[in-house]
Amino acid sequence: MITVPDDFGAILGEEALPWRATLPALATKFCARWRLTPDGDLLNGNVAVVLPVRRADGHPAVLKLTWQDAETRQEPLALQKWGGEGVVRLLDHDDEHGALLLERLDHTRSLIDAPLEEALAVTGGLLRRLRVPAGPEFRRHEPDDLVEENAGLDRPVPGGFVEQAGELGRELTASAGNTLVNEDLHYENVLRGDREPWLMIDPKPLSGDREFGVIPLLWNRFGEMDGERGLRDRFAALCDIGELDVERARAWTFYRAVDNWMWSLGLDLADAAAACEAIARTLRP
């Protein structure tokens, strides 16, 4: 049925190898269960494979098989909550196996290649539109001990940044709201659709403040910004279009920038670390 690329799942480590080996059988299983016919080459991201298919009535769709962890497990629930408003439509799912049947979008056209003004208008609009109550079933953000994490890495991030971010993270988490948030909304995860010009895919849902979701829209396409001024302008545009609380967005963005600055350094991701450092220094409350 499918041939999984040799390097797929490398980011997940050895614990994902048994799951990876089951993917051809899972694809066969769900094509039979949902009466699907393969209709294109297998696609993959870091934690999921996607097979273009046709349903029994001939309509196009995709079968997505996802590695399940805290970030991905509630994707079907979130898609149901949003109900296709600005997001890809969920057609069926199986929680036990991480299988999702989704409407088909154009994976060759995303906001990563759209003019930046349009990309900001669309993603800012999504930040505004997708503000439905999350409910108690969704996970909430739990702040890391940034001081301990920095010490474990031999303190590559200045202590003042780490201590301030850690304090803000605890304060923000304690007072966070209950809105359904996609913590990984970025330009590559918004694809061209038919029902709407652009539709969001692959959410990493949690319950909290909408302002928590700003930072991926700053580090994605980071190289297109004109220094500190460009970063401030993009942040301001997202807050304005998204109807966000500016100071809360600044605080969450600073906290997440410092957290991801350390995470990137720990994995030797120099470009990502540099972007997060620039965000933290520019938007430090």
Going by C-beta distance under 8 Å and a sequence separation of 6 or more, which residues neighbour residue 148? none
Q: How far is CA 176 from the centre of its chain?
A: 19
**Residue 9 token pair:** 């799942």
Packing angle between helix 227-242 and helix 246-266, nearest 10 degrees?
130
Residue in 58, 61, 7, 59 with CA at minimum distance from that of residue 30: 61
Distances (CA, A) of 222 to 116, 271, 284: 11, 10, 17
What whole-number distance in Å separates Cα of residue 275 and Cα of residue 222? Answer: 7
Residue in 221, 215, 223 with CA at minimum distance from that of residue 187: 221
**Given the residues 145, 184, 240, 271, the one annotated as active site:** 184
* Residue 55 Rama label (left phi>0; alpha psi -120 to 50; beta): beta
Contact present, 203 and 182 (Cβ < 8 Å): yes
**Residue 72 token pair:** 């991905």
Bridge partners for 92 per DSSP: 101
Contact present, 131 and 210 (Cβ < 8 Å): yes
Catalytic site residue 184? yes
Catalytic residues: 184
